[in-house]
Amino acid sequence: MSNIWNIAKKEIKTYFTSPIAYVVIAVFLILVGFFFYSALSWFNSQAIQMAQNPYYAQQMNINQMVYTPLFHNMSIILLLMLPLLTMRLFSEEKRTGTDELLFTSPVNVGQIILGKYLAALVVLAAMLGLTFFLSVFTFAYGNPELPQILNGYLGLFLMGAAFIAAGVFFSSLTENQIVSAILTFGALLLFWILNWAAYSASGMWKDVLNYLSIFQHFDDMTRGILDTKDVVYYLSFAFFGLFLTHSVIQSRRWR
Amino acid sequence: MIEVERLTKKYGDLVAVRDLSFKVAKGKIWGLLGPNAAGKTTTMRVLTGYIPATEGKATVAGFDVFEQPNAVKKVIGYLPEVVPLYPEMTVSDYLRFVAALKQVPTSQRKPALERAIQVSGLASVKGRLIKNISRGFKQRVGIAQSLIHNPDVLILDEPTIGLDPAQIIEIRELIKSLKGEHTIILSTHILAEVTQTCDGVVIINEGRLMASGSLEELTASFREKERVILRLRRGHEEALAGLGAIPGVERVSRQNGELAVEWNPRKDLRESVSRMAVEKGWGLLEMRTAAMNIEDLYLRVVSGGGEQ
């Protein structure tokens, strides 16, 4: 455990001593802030209009009208930004030869992978955690449902964790960070839009494609539905990504 | 301390190391000598557990490299050819990270760090970012990281490559100062490095062992003639004839104002030669053995082949 933490600590330090983490977090917060502001402004203008009619006014739901679209927007930003966060994790080590230090230390390959994964999760948690401050406004002037919001955040975190595992995997494949980021983004986007293919499929394939689609599982979570099926999906996606990383690194050393 | 038995490493169809065997005794410095692409780095990578061998066996400090990789990694300090540095870290932070990675107990990390910094002469740059220090210091940081857990065995892959002459001397002195406490294998293709720092040498070429042993043993085994150089004040002509008459002397020749006397290495005629020079009053100023040097040995072994 201490080996994992030692590696994670070093990676977190690297993220925060270089501009990477600050740029990723700042850009993420600016974009999320913009989407939040737009959604809230639209909600306000709707609320003013609906205030004329008590029936419609009761239909106004800040969770559905602000948070659900906000979470969807955040998930797209994560899809674009997380590959940039993970692209250097292994490719940089390989390019500069520092992998030789790691793999000749009394640390298992699995511990190295988990250490790096954990570091990226910490940055993801910081990104998401900081956006929580936006909710100060909605709680001060309205009454959104906290459990539903937390469920959305949990969905974002789990989905981000799956994205990061894919990023770690593609980073282990190549010495080139750009290639690593593009492959991660391409693969994730493909998984994202698998449910589009499900529209034209039928029978078992429809279910399989729907199950494999990243988006399908996330959609439920933004609506406040916590289904173990979705949690298991993201966790197994992450596990599979890390398992493949382990296989790639081991097979390369044995070649 | 280090034993390699019939080690073979193949990369696909390419055989990088073939049937290599050698031993290094505790507390000695051994050079792994060979031209570029001879298999030096591959051998070191197998010993450090970075890559597994295709066939054969290697043990370090009694631990099998393949069966107990983590035990071996704990007793080995390794400086790869490309020094594994994180440019955005300070020297101290980097060494602290390596200490944690090498599982130095938390309570001993501070003294370990101070010792590595002191031994490697890094005190003046310990707070600086690695990307901002000179090449020579980077190499020292590389050596410091290999020493941080006070390993029994040090494996240094071309430790002086790319340094200027003054830095090369500094690093060689540093390596020599580590002898005794640590068993060291260093790879090089610079012959002077071996004569100046090593007790013994393993010469490999195209992945095969060409020769191994202590420097004296090797030069002696490759020497066909014992050769002694005499510097005399007078009587050169007389000496040419007189020394040639000593039973067993095969040849006496003039060389830059000195005399070279050769005989079969199975005999030791040094006493007879010196006695004659003194008795005849030639004014013996100097008498030295012209040992076969490492350059001769290396060129013969690498170009001529032949296992010893």
Residues of A in contact with B16 (CB under 8 A): none
Mean pLDDT, residues A123-133 taken together: 94
Query: Tens of pLDDT along B236-295?
Result: 889 988 998 998 888 888 878 888 888 887 788 889 999 999 999 999 999 988 766 667
- Domains B2-220 and B224-290 belong to one CATH topology: no
Identify whether the C-beta of residue A28 lies closer than 8 Å to the C-beta of residue A127: yes
Nearest Cα to B151, choosing from B191, B193, B111, B112?
A: B112
pLDDT at B162 over 80: no
What was the pLDDT predicted at B306?
Answer: 43
Q: What is the pLDDT of residue B131?
A: 93
Indicate the domain borders of chain A.
2-254
* B76–A14 C-beta distance less than 8 A: no
Average pLDDT over residues B115-130: 91
pLDDT digits (tens, 9 = 90+) for B38-49: 889 999 999 998
- pLDDT band (50, 70, 90) for residue B307: very low
Mean pLDDT of B3-21: 90
Asked if A105 has any chain B CB less than 8 Å from its own CB, the reply is yes
**Residue boundaries of the structural domains of chain B:** 2-220, 224-290
Give CA separation, A243 vs A236, B64, B101, in Å: 10, 27, 22
Q: Is A252 on the interface with B (CB under 8 A)?
A: no
Picking from A11, A17, A104, A112 by the largest number of B CB atoms within 10 A of its own CB, the best residue to mutate is A104
Measured between alpha carbons, how far is A112 from B228 in angstroms, rounded to an integer?
Answer: 60
User: Does pLDDT of A220 surpass 70?
Assistant: yes
User: What's the CATH fold of domain B224-290?
Assistant: Alpha-Beta Plaits (3.30.70)
CB B117 within 8 A of CB B126: yes
Please tell me the distance from the alpha carbon of residue A87 to that of residue A242, in angstroms, as a whole number.
14
Residue B221 has pLDDT above 80, yes or no: no
Give the residue among B277, B279, B83, B166 at the shortest CA–CA distance from A97: B83
User: A253 to chain B: which residues are within 8 Å by CB?
Assistant: 50-52
B144 vs A66: CA distance, rounded Å: 56
Structure tokens at A47: 């609320």
Question: Is the pLDDT confidence value at A197 over 70?
Answer: yes
The reply to whether A92 touches chain B by the CB within 8 Å rule is no
- C-alpha angle B8/B14/B16, rounded to 5°? 40
The per-residue pLDDT for B47 is 92
* pLDDT band of A113, cuts 50, 70, 90: very high
Comparing A118-122, B49-53, B123-127, B297-301, the range with the smallest average pLDDT is B297-301
pLDDT of B305: 47
ipTM: 0.86
Across A129-138, B60-69, B164-173, least confident range:
B164-173
Residue A180 has a pLDDT of 96
Question: At a CB cut-off of 8 Å and minimum separation 6, what does B293 contact?
Answer: B195, B219
How far B47 CA sits from the closest chain A CA (Å)?
10
What average pLDDT does this structure show over B157-186?
Answer: 85
CA distance B93 to chain A (A): 9
> Higher-confidence residue: B292 or B128?
B128
Considering only residues A60 and A99, tell me which one the structure prediction assigns the higher pLDDT.
A99
pLDDT at A20 over 80: yes
Average pLDDT score over residue span A82-92: 94
* A12 contact residues in B (CB cutoff 8 A): none
- The number of CA neighbours under 13 Å toward the Cβ of B206 is 4
Residues 15-54 of A with CB under 8 A from B: 17-18
φ/ψ of A140, rounded to 5, equals -70, -35
Please name the member of B50, B52, B86 whose beta carbon is closest to the beta carbon of A100: B50
Q: Does position A213 have pLDDT exceeding 80, yes or no?
A: yes
**Residue of B60, B86, B92, B107 best to disrupt the A interface, most CBs of A under 10 A:** B86
**pLDDT tens profile A65-86:** 889 999 999 999 999 999 999 9
Lowest mean pLDDT among A15-29, A108-122, A215-229, B85-99: A215-229
- Point out the residue among B49, B52, B84 whose CB comes nearest to the CB of A98: B84
Per-residue pLDDT at A157: 96
- In B, minimum Cα distance to A18 occurs at B88
Cα(A241)–Cα(A86) distance, integer angstroms: 13
Q: Domain B2-220 falls in which CATH fold?
A: Rossmann fold (3.40.50)
Nearest residue to A255 via CA among B43, B90, B53, B250: B53
Mutation for testing the A interface, residue in B55, B73, B76, B101 having most A CBs under 10 Å = B101
Backbone angles phi, psi at B284, to 5 degrees: -70, 110
Q: What is the pLDDT of residue B292?
A: 61
Closest residue, chain B, to A17 (C-alpha):
B88
**Number of residue pairs across A and B with CB atoms under 8 Å?**
69
Q: Is A106 on the interface with B (CB under 8 A)?
A: yes
Query: Residues of B with CB below 8 A from A254's CB?
Result: 51-52
Q: What is the pTM of this model?
A: 0.84
Q: What is the mean pLDDT of residues B2-28?
A: 90
Mean pLDDT of B215-231: 77
Share of chain A above pLDDT 70, in %: 100
pLDDT at B265: 75
Give tens-digit pLDDT for B56-82.
Answer: 999 998 899 988 988 999 999 999 999
From chain B, pick out residues whose CB is under 8 angstroms from the CB of A103: 49-50
